[in-house]
Structure 1
């Protein structure tokens, strides 16, 4: 797999993760577009882990508030 293909699949993952449709389906279509059969599960897992890390970084302030005050109003609302 070329690095450019991996970047494009990462962009597909990032753009479609929060849509109410399957980002995994879009990754499957992206792999078919590039003719990548060997990437499969490992690539999908790494892309999802990347999305998870990005969410943790983005919401770190809120997550820290929840950890510091587990019985706050914010926790109740969640």
Structure 2
């Protein structure tokens, strides 16, 4: 399993990991906002939107593979 043994621990209100995650999120949002605006001047808006969605999907899949989590059991599902 990819990412086995790796775990990001975020505990307590003063945890520096929370601030780092917030800064990383803000940086990603700003980068995507800027690049989307620049690309939309040169490409059709549908192409820019599609590229943004593909980038988001790749980021989400990467994060899911790197994060460790407990497996979902049938008893957990509604």
TM (normalized to structure 2)? 0.43
TM (normalized to structure 1)? 0.43
Q: More helix by proportion, 1 or 2?
A: 1
Structure with the greater relative contact order (CA < 8 A, sep ≥ 6): 1 or 2? 2
* Greater C-alpha radius of gyration: 2
